[in-house]
Structure 1
Amino acid sequence: MAKKALAPEELRALPMEKLEKLLKDQHVLFVFEYLRDFNGTQAAIRAGYEEASAASQAWKLLRRPEIKEYRDRKIREIFESKGITPEFIQLSCFEIYCRCMEKEPVMVWDTEAHAWVPGGEWQFDAKGALKALDQMSTILGMKRPDSGDKKPGETLEQYLSRTGGNDREF
């Protein structure tokens, strides 16, 4: 009788040694090869799968829950060994936000001085700052479940009610 497939939550709860025992040696090798360049087809070939079917084999392998869990844990191990932790990502996003918010003078050409000089206006990278804030809110779990765009025909009051915007104090 075939083994019952474990649910993703059950796989996450398994110690690494037990998770690894669920995989064939070729699957473990495939994951290690995949982590070299994130190229599934080449990883399958290097792990010993037939070249003609390597792409489809990689596609199947990368969707198997136990292989996904094993791959994700190995990636976390690599990141943590390099000091890349959730806290590091948060701090990096904050640093990027701060850099994007630094005001820079808008330079204009001074025909008398024959040089670029500050024109009295300032600019900053609003798009970069907003993207960094978006990333930080995702990492910190601050996004609302349905904070999507305003739907066609929806009034501002309906949008604020749906997204919880009426609860905000500015």
Structure 2
Amino acid sequence: MDTTPSPRLKPRRAAFVAEYLKDLSATQAAVRAGYSADTAYAIGHRLLKIAEVRDAIQQAMSDRADRTKVDVDFVVNGAREVFERCLQKRAVMVRRGKEFVHATDEDGRHVWQFDAKGANGALGILAKHVRLGGPDVSLNVDLDKLTPAQLEHIANGGSLATLPGA
């Protein structure tokens, strides 16, 4: 399982490719490959425009996907599963004497919790995959303000852009 970039690349470009694969940050890869930190942003993005560098990155990513069996479908399906699990409500339990009981609010309704941070993280991954809002979208959704129908729409793979009642 050789992850060495193409031998036709110059050594520093080959180092850039190897470093880029670690975190997909052109700037950080340029610094780790030995380019100046002051110009790393420009150099990293310039290197990504060079066909042989792009080809080497694409080949290495393809090889890695084959080796690890992690591809776009794996990531998207995993993110969707995380999102759905994070939305599963869990009872808020409180101690009353020696036992734990389901907490209630001031109107006597049961209180539930879910993992909003995890759900938002999974939605961010999914939004980037479908390029919602552009390639560098940062998504923050206040799930408490979504209706049950909207949550179900999202959990079933629906787009935030087509939320019912939005």
Report Cα offsets for 1:39-93 as digits up to 9, x if no partner: 647853xxxxxxxxx3418937533122651335423431342011110011011
The 3 A distance-change label for structure 1 pair 36 and 87 is: closer
Contact 1:101–1:129 (CA under 8 A) maintained in structure 2:
yes
**Number of equivalenced pairs:** 122
The 3 A distance-change label for structure 1 pair 136 and 41 is: closer
Say whether residues 1:87 and 2:77 are aligned partners: no
Say whether residues 1:128 and 2:110 are aligned partners: no
Q: Which has the higher helix share?
A: 1
Secondary structure of 2:69 counterpart: coil
Identity among equivalent positions (%) equals 21
User: How far 1:128 moved relative to its partner?
Assistant: 2.6
In structure 2, C-alpha distance between the alignment counterparts of 1:35 and 1:169, rounded to whole Å = 40
Which one-letter code corresponds to 1:56 in the other structure? S
Residue 98 (structure 1) aligns with: 84
Contact 2:9–2:53 (CA under 8 A) maintained in structure 1:
no
In structure 1, C-alpha distance between the alignment counterparts of 2:100 and 2:164, rounded to whole Å = 43
Report Cα offsets for 1:110-155 as digits up to 9, x if no partner: 1x21x443223211123432332342233134x256x99xxxxxxx
Contact 1:62–1:68 (CA under 8 A) maintained in structure 2:
no
Normalising by structure 2, we get a TM-score of 0.52
Contact 1:41–1:55 (CA under 8 A) maintained in structure 2:
yes
Contact 2:92–2:111 (CA under 8 A) maintained in structure 1:
yes
Residue 44 (structure 2) aligns with: 62
In structure 2, C-alpha distance between the alignment counterparts of 1:25 and 1:123, rounded to whole Å = 53
In structure 1, C-alpha distance between the alignment counterparts of 2:72 and 2:22, rounded to whole Å = 23
Pick one of 58, 61, 67 that aligns with 1:75.
61
**Which protein shows a greater Rg?**
1
Contact 1:105–1:121 (CA under 8 A) maintained in structure 2:
yes
The 3 A distance-change label for structure 1 pair 131 and 73 is: same
Pick one of 109, 124, 147 that aligns with 2:95.
109
Secondary structure of 1:74 counterpart: helix
In structure 2, C-alpha distance between the alignment counterparts of 1:84 and 1:61, rounded to whole Å = 29
Structure 2 gap segments, 5+ residues each? 104-109, 139-160
